[in-house]
Amino acid sequence: MVKPLYNRILIKLSGEVLNGGTDIAINPEVLHNLAEQVKHVLDLGVQVAIVIGGGNFFRGANLSQSGISRITGDHMGMLATLMNALALRDAFDQAGMSARVLSAIPLSGVVDLFNRRKAMHHLNRGRVVIFAAGTGNPLFTTDSAASLRGIEVKADVLLKATNVDGIYDKDPNKHSDAKKYSKLSFATALEKELAVMDLAAFCQCRDYDLPIRVFDITENDALKNVVTDPKLGTHVINE
């Protein structure tokens, strides 16, 4: 068996990943594929935590442009992440994995409230832990939730799942000569203003020395490959 690079990972999934580029907010085929990918990683002995966004339903910033207050819009976005988390948990359960949803806001009878010690306990028992409702506060993105939860549960790496195979010096969809970085320091990413993550989340990872790895989740066996092959994606680290 291939030896994994990490013992515990925190995966940041955007809500848009779940629609698979379709008009369906939550695409069953995408859920099935994600469940299979996570199962392959668990089989390697890697502990898996996930922070899920809600952009396939709502984004607070976008809702505020339509007249809804930003605070209300962010609260709606938190509820959207909870719907996505429930869908993920169901898919994991059907794939034979044990999964728990821990929410930053209370939803008694549906999911458990976030508790760091409880999260660590579930991870040590080999259960997938899905963090929902962001940080529980408006004006903070789920990127910030990912950095916060990753630090709290002592993840070895924050895996930023995107539809691009790493970080480029410019948009590779618009520029054929775009250069991909295999490794990047936090300082260089800030200096070049590369949009890796929300700035607050990015700086938190830098300050608490949580490496970020950006990779393409749409590739076959993407998760298994990124936890076993150090050459994939882009590593963002402290120098």
Please give the pLDDT value at position 62: 76
* Residue the block writes with tokens 């092959």: 229
CA distance 235 to 64: 34
**Among candidates 152, 56, 59, which has minimal Cα distance to 102?**
152
Compute the 3-state secondary structure of the chain and give helix, strand, coil in percent, each to the nearest 5: 40, 20, 40
Q: Report the predicted TM-score, pTM, of the whole model to 2 decimal places.
A: 0.95
Answer for the pair 4, 46: CB distance below 8 angstroms, yes or no: yes
Please give the pLDDT value at position 196: 86
Please give the pLDDT value at position 58: 80
CA distance 70 to 203: 23
In the chain, which ranges are continuous DSSP H helix?
28-43, 60-65, 70-94, 116-124, 142-152, 186-191, 199-207, 222-226
Chunk the chain into consecutive blocks of 10 residues (it has 239) and report each block's average pLDDT, rounded to whole numbers. 93 94 92 97 97 89 82 93 98 98 96 98 98 96 97 98 93 90 94 89 96 95 96 95
Please give the pLDDT value at position 173: 84
**Among candidates 121, 114, 124, which has minimal Cα distance to 46?**
124
3-class secondary structure, 100? strand
The domains found in the chain, sorted by start residue, are 8-237 (3.40.1160.10)
Encode burial over 211-235: b for 16+ CB neighbours within 10 A, e otherwise. bbbbbbbbeeebbbbbbbeeebbbb
Longest dimension (CA), the chain: 54
Please give the pLDDT value at position 195: 83
Please give the pLDDT value at position 64: 75
